[in-house]
């Protein structure tokens, strides 16, 4: 499993692909940072990096499918997936190796953004608890989206379609959170409570306030594992159909 993980990580950094996505990631983060700074005035006492993540997440979900679209679709298209479908390695090992590789690439991208809190710290002050929890919450949220993107990639042999389906699925998740706040849902307290329980934005909101909750951590991890298990089932089904 480790050898496959290493191979996947190298495949990203041996091509310009990861560098282009990282540059776009930093561009979006930079624009959000500049916009946040420009809106500050003398009455503003705090500047929250969690708000940058929250406000920019809609743009980030267009970048994550670019990382996940080739995870299975590219190999299926080039027929190289036969190599590991017939190999002694198990499908769960393949899925988790690819997932951890993409998560590692994304984590390195997030590490590059630490430049901005450093600038803020040099010219002011940073609320460390909010910063750490904000980064943790955003990373957990992104892991869920990475799992969704991999699932979409497992359904098709076209990386482009995998990216489109992945973005559509992530937009649907964001729309579900917005739908929860509508007057229709809020007029039904019990229904609203169920929707809010599944809301990723509400869970991230807790992290953004510097509040670490074990329940929110378990929520994101469990949701990510469910999607990864679904991906395993999809690929296992294709493996058995090949005989």
Structure tokens at 119: 């600038």
> Residue 43: inside a domain, yes or no?
no
Q: Cα 107 to chain center, whole Å?
A: 10
Residue 41 lies in a domain: no
Query: Which residue blocks in 69-213 are alpha helix, DSSP H?
Result: 73-78, 81-85, 91-112, 115-123, 128-155, 159-180, 183-186, 189-197, 200-208
40 lies in some domain: no
Residue 45 has a pLDDT of: 44
Tokens 């929520």, located at residue: 219
Residue 135 lies in a domain: yes
At residue 43, the pLDDT reads 47
Which pTM value belongs to this model?
0.87
For 15-56, the pLDDT digits (tens) are: 888 888 888 888 888 887 777 677 666 544 455 666 677 767
**pLDDT of 99:** 96
Q: Per the structure, how many domains does the chain have?
A: 1
Low-confidence ranges of the chain (pLDDT < 50): 43-45
Residue 39 forms part of a structural domain:
no
Domain that holds residue 67: 2-34+48-241
Across 67-86, b (16+ Cβ under 10 Å) vs e yields bbbbbbbbbbeeeebeebbe
| Burial class (CB within 10 angstroms; exposed 0-12, middle 13-18, buried 19+) of 166 | buried
């Amino acid at each position: 499993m480790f050898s496959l993980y290493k191979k996947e990580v190298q495949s990203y950094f041996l091509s310009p692909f990861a560098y282009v996505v990282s540059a776009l990631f930093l561009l979006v983060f930079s624009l959000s940072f500049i916009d946040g700074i420009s809106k500050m005035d003398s009455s503003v006492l705090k500047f929250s990096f969690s708000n940058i993540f929250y406000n920019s997440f809609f743009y980030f979900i267009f970048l994550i499918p670019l990382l996940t679209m080739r995870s299975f679709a590219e190999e299926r298209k080039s027929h190289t997936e036969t190599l590991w479908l017939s190999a002694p390695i198990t499908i769960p090992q393949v899925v988790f190796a690819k997932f951890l590789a993409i998560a590692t690439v994304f984590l390195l991208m997030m590490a590059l953004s630490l430049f901005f809190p450093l600038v803020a710290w040099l010219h002011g002050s940073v609320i460390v608890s909010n910063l750490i929890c904000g980064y943790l919450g955003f990373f957990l949220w992104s892991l869920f989206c990475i799992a969704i993107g991999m699932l979409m990639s497992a359904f098709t042999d076209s990386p482009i379609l995998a990216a489109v389906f992945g973005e559509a699925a992530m937009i649907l998740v964001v729309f579900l959170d917005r739908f929860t706040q509508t007057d229709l849902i809020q007029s039904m307290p019990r229904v609203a409570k169920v929707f809010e329980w599944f809301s990723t934005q509400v869970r991230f909101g807790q992290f953004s306030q510097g509040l670490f909750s074990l329940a929110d951590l378990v929520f994101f991890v469990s949701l990510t594992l469910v999607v990864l298990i679904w991906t395993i089932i999809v690929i296992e089904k294709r493996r058995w159909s090949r005989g």
